[in-house]
Chain A
Amino acid sequence: MTQNILAKKVEAQQSEASDEPRCEFELSRRSFVKLLGAGLLITVTEGVSFGRRSGGRSRRSITVAARLHINQDGTITVMTGKVEEGQGARAQLTQAAAEELRVAADQIRLVMADTALVPNDGRTAGSQTTPSTVPAVRRGAATARELLTRLAAEQWKVDRGALDVRDGAITHQATKRTVSYADLAKSKDVAGAFAQAVSSDVTVTPVGAWKVLGTAVARPNWRDLVTGAHRFPSDFVRPNMLYGKILRPPSYGATLESIDLSKAKAMKDVVVVCDGQFVGCAAPSSFRATQVLEVIAKTASWKTVSHPSSKDLFSHLKKNARLGGRSRPRSRGSIDKGLADASKVLERTYEVAYIQHTPMEPRAATAEWKDGKLTVWTGVDGPQQAQGDLARTFQIPSERVRVIVPDMGSGFGGKHTGEAAVEAARLAKAAGRPVAVHWTRAEEFTWAYFRPAAVIECKGGLDAKGALIAWDFTNINAGGAAIDTPYNIANTKILSAGSDSPLRQGAYRCLAATANNFARESFMDELAAAAGIDPLAFRLAHLENQRIRTVLEAAAKHFDWATRRKKVTADIGVGLACGTEKSSVVAACVEVGIDRKRGEIKVHQVCEAFECGPIQNPANLTSQVQGCIIMGLGGALSEEMEFADGKILNASFAGYRVPRFRDVPKIDVHLINNTDIPSAGGGETPIIAIAPAIANAVFVATGVRIRSMPMRFVPMTGEVQKR
């Protein structure tokens, strides 16, 4: 089947990934110390494995030395396997270490995502940095602080409790003695102490005492971003390097039948590689490599296969839905009884198109082989996972592969897979020279993966008083993220069913939570309308979750929902939606304008309240929420992959419309700092309330209910209902 060839599915969520490869330090102690600057000698490997289970929990704890290193100048190097892709991990993890070590953030140098230097903290995905890696770094730093304090106590022969730690120094008030971390680090005892495992029950600083966490620390390398000095993965240049290009099939599932490489091979300074279905070339410039590839492509003949088109997408997904078998619904009460008892039953189907992350920086890698060892600079969100993939591809031990992920040009869940790394390494191996492979935008649009499309079937039953008593919800293809309803309903049946995905699909910012929330929150509005109850009141009547109630009420209050709901006209509508995912909660109120002539929905204002526990970096969180809101507008209103005959028909920013400056509404973000619970990540969930709030606003103004994302306003084609 065609799909089998092309849709070797990316694990929908990293948490589903099975056993991940282990990483060991390959560097000798001497070279490691040289890399980090003279200072504390570190024993890194013995008895320590950096493997971790997916989901961010360490399989075995790492040593303090594997997490941090104190330099003789008093600065501290902290190591993490997380990557920075714009979400703010660099600042946040720097703050985490600084907080526990009781130093200023600028005392910390954070080494990220270099498999030769850092522990495996798991993929940067699933909003896991905040709940998993921040605590891991804090425990590492707090353990180090405790070990250093104990050493000072031993040296001075005083009680540990009599010592103060502040500004990178330990002080014994009674005798007015002080020793800095840097001075302590010179002692041999520290090396021994840091060889201990990070303590799992060390006390970390309580939220109320935070000095560095909770503040708007700027990303440490910001200046390099405004001067152009920072080297992104696509900016790595090695001496004697070539630029590579890969021959892509003309359509999904097509296989190469024959090719003539003689002409290309005769070209000057050109390397051509053909290995089964893999054909690529490398030349001294991208321009030249593109020319060579054109010469090669002309000689290729392909066997193509049939492939569903986006026009038939939703019927294809429905037809191939795996509703029985392994997919089991989650039930509460009796759905049959609930529906039978209902005085009104609504049945609706919602659809969500495939969309793409379109990270600003497409996939890129530079690979270099030296003495049988491979080094790759690339943009992926799992450096250790890419290391494992490369080791398997070239059948070498993973110690011989080093993957470095420089802070990269965004990802949004779209960079789980390291295709460019493998391609660059294959070409570099054949060329005997470093090779860079930079995907074009069209390649990224076609050969990366997509956020799953969905068909969502809903049935709901209201009793005579307008209370919701039955809820039947089936998501076909997109997955189970945020599929459970937070509303209090006696009889529910909820199912996530697989299907045959025509496109290669995988993770995306909040993944299926957007689809599930679009359907649920749209359907809640339809039910509220059927019950004749205001949508805010209808939700609150069924909502026990206090955190969601708080954000919903906050958004409604700041937006002035009650007043504005009354001022709705045929061209101006207001809508709201809420939801929860990844331990955070969100609610949004929006105002839209309808341009009937142009069939356009214009979002005028978004007022969103968000809560993810104690806020660790307010400036960064604001950026994330604003970014989610605007990104959400794209999926809601304009983004959609179009495909036919195995080809993406809109593989460019001309045909695939993402939000631009013109589309930016007035945005009010209200962050709620809930210090009663642990911090959760905030870079994903703020996206899930946008689309349904817009759909609900369009309905209120026009009476037209749009049930398909992206939403387009085509007057009179939707099901027209009374307001």
Chain B
Amino acid sequence: MDVKVNLTVNGKKRSVTTDPKRSLLDVLREELNLTGTKYGCGEGRCGACTVLMDGKRVLSCVTPAAQANKKTITTIEGLARGDSLHPVQEAFLAEGAMQCGYCTPGMILTAAALLEKNPNPTDEEITTAMNVNLCRCNGYTKILNAVRRASKK
């Protein structure tokens, strides 16, 4: 049975009627046309689908749509303020911390959530927070540099 899910996405109130078990990832991508959030594994092991739910990072591929009811969601499309990028986005550009860029939205949101909680993480803390996020281009070195750079802002 479909249910109605009311949520705020990137500052806009949205309402979606959907199967409650359907993933938040699918709802964002297929109902709301927010394709910046990526599919990488569908089982919570790659972080490509990372979004912020009430400010905390969640893996949207393993988050049932029903759980997003009455929640505030930020996706990669909603991280910048108008034309001014979020410091983590800026840092990724400054460090050139992308190759194909497919993991990038998840990486940026994971780092943004970390820095929100812990503005000056140690390398160990960054590694722990980011370890779920896979980059198959294996650009981890520059991604770490980008997170370090953003933490100094």
Contacts and interface: CB of A to CB of B under 8 A. Distances in A.
A85 interface: yes
Contacts of B134: 360, 653, 658, 660
B69 to A, nearest CB: 17
B141 A407 contact: no
B64 to A, nearest CB: 11
Given A222-B93, A286-B30, A652-B45, A228 B76 contact: yes
A626 B102 contact: no
B130 A440 contact: no
A223 to B, nearest CB: 7
Contacts of A226: 76, 85, 89, 92-93, 98, 101, 104-105, 108
Interface string B117-146: 000000000110011011111111110100
Contacts of A357: 136
Interface in A603-651: 619-620, 623-624, 626-631
A360 B102 contact: yes
Interface string A228-263: 111110110100000100000000000000000000
A620 B137 CA distance: 12
B1 interface: no
Interface stretch (A518-526, A661-669, A712-720): A661-669
Contacts of B141: 626, 630, 664, 667
Given A286-B26, A441-B40, A652-B41, A410 B93 contact: no
A84 B98 CA distance: 12
A363 B68 CA distance: 28
B7 interface: no
Contacts of B77: 227-229
A240 to B, nearest CB: 13
A162 interface: no
B26 A285 contact: yes
Interface hub of B19, B41, B99 (most chain A Cβ within 10 A)? B99
A661 B35 contact: no
Nearest to A231: B35
A632 B77 CA distance: 33
Nearest to B85: A226
Contact of A653 (B30, B43, B131): B43
Contacts of B100: 84-86, 359-361, 407-410
A234 B61 CA distance: 15
Given A229-B36, A441-B43, A86 B137 contact: yes
A235 B135 contact: no
Contacts of B39: 234, 362, 438
A225 B138 contact: no
State the main secondary structure of chain B at its contact with A.
Answer: loop
A621 to B, nearest CB: 11
Contacts of A237: 33, 35
Nearest to B78: A228
Interface residues of A, number: 59
Nearest to B133: A661
Contacts of B33: 237
Given A222-B93, A659-B138, A661-B130, A230 B101 contact: yes
A110 interface: no
Given A360-B136, A654-B43, A232 B102 contact: yes
Interface in B19-58: 19, 22-23, 26, 29-31, 33-43, 45-46, 48
Contacts of A222: 93, 96, 98, 101
B73 interface: no
Contacts of B105: 226, 228
A517 interface: no
Nearest to A243: B30
A410 B19 contact: no
Contacts of B135: 360
A140 interface: no
B89 A623 contact: no
A704 B22 CA distance: 50
A92 interface: no
B103 interface: yes
A75 B17 CA distance: 46
Contacts of B76: 226-228
Nearest to A223: B93
A660 B139 contact: no
Contact of B136 (A358, A438, A654): A358
B41 A410 contact: no
Interface hub of B35, B76, B137 (most chain A Cβ within 10 A)? B137
B80 interface: yes
A441 B102 contact: no
Contacts of A223: 93
B75 interface: yes
Nearest to A227: B80
Interface in A257-293: 285-287
B105 to A, nearest CB: 5
B103 to A, nearest CB: 5
Nearest to B35: A235
Interface in A208-231: 216, 218-219, 222-223, 225-231
A626 B35 contact: no
Contact of A360 (B36, B40, B80, B96): B40
Nearest to B76: A228
B7 to A, nearest CB: 17
B141 to A, nearest CB: 5
A237 B136 CA distance: 25
Interface of A: 84-88, 216, 218-219, 222-223, 225-232, 234-235, 237, 243, 285-287, 357-362, 407-410, 412, 438, 440-441, 619-620, 623-624, 626-631, 652-654, 658-662, 664, 667
22 contacts: A84-B100, A222-B96, A222-B98, A225-B101, A226-B85, A226-B108, A228-B36, A228-B37, A235-B35, A360-B48, A361-B100, A412-B136, A441-B43, A623-B142, A624-B99, A626-B141, A629-B138, A652-B45, A653-B45, A653-B134, A659-B138, A661-B144
